[in-house]
Amino acid sequence: MSTPILEVRDLIKVYPAATAVAGISFSVPAGICFGLLGPNGAGKTTTIEIMEGILPPTSGEVRYRGEASGGRFREEAGILFQKTALQDFLTVRQCISLFRGLYDHGLAVDELLRLCALEKLAGRDNRKLSGGQQQRLLLAIALVNDPDVLFLDEPTTGLDPQARRNFWELVQSIKAQRKTIILTTHYMEEAELLCDEIVILDHGRIVAQGAPRRLLHEHFAQVLLELPRHDFPAAARALPLNILESSDRIEITTDDLEATLRTLLAAQVSLTHLRIRPANLEDLFLELTGTELRS
């Protein structure tokens, strides 16, 4: 088997007030999109920033192409932080030119503008961009050195659905160039669409790791039935079903759909608002941690 492009070994990060990362290990094969998933405070950003070389770990190490990551990593990595301000008064083109000037090799500024659909915005002050445009500019900056590995830390948080979809299309076109992408997100749809492999983090530990489909297959042979909470009488909770309650709905997991529907009808549960769907990563997270992912 070839050397993974990135390897995280026994990583621990302890802050005075809390342990952010409590001993995690995984490796990332080259050319895939690798997702770090988890709720806020799970340790995603700390982990990705240690991988990026921005934060020092308390213990453990990150290896890039089989070696301790150093100067070569800086030249070959592209990074999009969760929050980045650029210099005031600089246009989109000038921001890209500044970062392009910091690397020995990379893409032409015009090429980057085209790749990230910024041609029409090239002369605009970077502070006058919408959220989606700003993220596209930061993506262009992350791509200035034509990186082999691209880090995206919650790149679509705060974007409207249209801007988010546009951004996903850009990431998919980068993925098509066989670049390695490390993505943190708490949007399950994003992870399912983009990631080939994921790690789910909770309280600084890995609770699941693998390809999204395989993980779902392993944990959910069944289907999910969703009912509004107010349609589910208290007496029905005693039924012999696998029930999970959340704030506004009841979820029932089953591998015998017909039998479950019969049981519910016999208990006089209204099925008017019933939804039946396959399990998704959100369900997986709920199953693994007992917490809602976006909490």
Partner 1 sequence: MMHRLLAVLHARNLEFLRDRSTLIFTLLLPVLLVIGMGFVFGGPERPLFKVGVLAPRIDRAVHPFLRERYVEFIALPEEQAALQKVRHQQVDLLVDLRDPPRYWVNTDSPKGYIVEKLLLAAMPAASRQPVTGTALRYVDWLFPGILGMNMMFSCLFGVGYVVLRYRKSGFLKRLYATPLNAFEFLSAQVLSRLGLILFVTIVLYGGIGAIIGFHNAGSTLLLLLLAVVGALSMIALGLTIAARFASEELVGGLLNLLTWPMMLLSGIWFSLEGSPRWVQWVAHVFPLTHVLDAARAVMLDGAGLAQIAPQLLFLATTALAFLAFGAWSFRWRID
> Residue numbers of the site for partner 1 (CB under 8 A)?
52-54, 71, 74-75, 77, 79, 81, 83-90, 94, 97-104, 141
Q: How far is the CB of 116 from partner 1 (least distance, A)?
A: 16
- Comparing CA positions, the residue from 156, 149, 153, 6 lying closest to residue 66 is 6
Instruction: Read off φ and ψ for residue 201, nearest 5 degrees.
Output: -105, 145
Query: Do 5 and 164 form a contact (C-beta atoms < 8 A)?
Result: no
User: What is d(CA 278, CA 224) in angstroms, rounded to the nearest whole number?
Assistant: 6
Closer residue to partner 1, CB minimum distance, 94 or 270: 94
Pairing of strands 67-68, 77-80: unpaired
Residues 6+ apart with CB under 8 A from 245: 229, 251
User: What is d(CA 8, CA 28) in angstroms, rounded to the nearest whole number?
Assistant: 9
DSSP-assigned letter for residue 83: S
Closer residue to partner 1, CB minimum distance, 73 or 285: 73
Closer residue to partner 1, CB minimum distance, 77 or 269: 77
Query: Do 130 and 59 form a contact (C-beta atoms < 8 A)?
Result: no
Query: Do 183 and 33 form a contact (C-beta atoms < 8 A)?
Result: yes
Q: How far is the CB of 141 from partner 1 (least distance, A)?
A: 8
Closer residue to partner 1, CB minimum distance, 103 or 220: 103
Closer residue to partner 1, CB minimum distance, 6 or 264: 6
Q: How far is the CB of 171 from partner 1 (least distance, A)?
A: 19
Query: Do 194 and 33 form a contact (C-beta atoms < 8 A)?
Result: yes
User: What beta strand segments (E) does 29-106 contain?
Assistant: 33-37, 59-64, 67-68, 77-80
Q: Within 121-246, where are the H helices?
A: 131-142, 161-175, 188-194, 212-219
Closer residue to partner 1, CB minimum distance, 72 or 217: 72
Q: How far is the CB of 137 from partner 1 (least distance, A)?
A: 12
Q: How far is the CB of 100 from partner 1 (least distance, A)?
A: 8
Q: How far is the CB of 59 from partner 1 (least distance, A)?
A: 17
Closer residue to partner 1, CB minimum distance, 150 or 191: 150
Q: How far is the CB of 37 from partner 1 (least distance, A)?
A: 22
Token pair belonging to 182: 């490390």
Closer residue to partner 1, CB minimum distance, 152 or 281: 152
Q: How far is the CB of 91 from partner 1 (least distance, A)?
A: 9
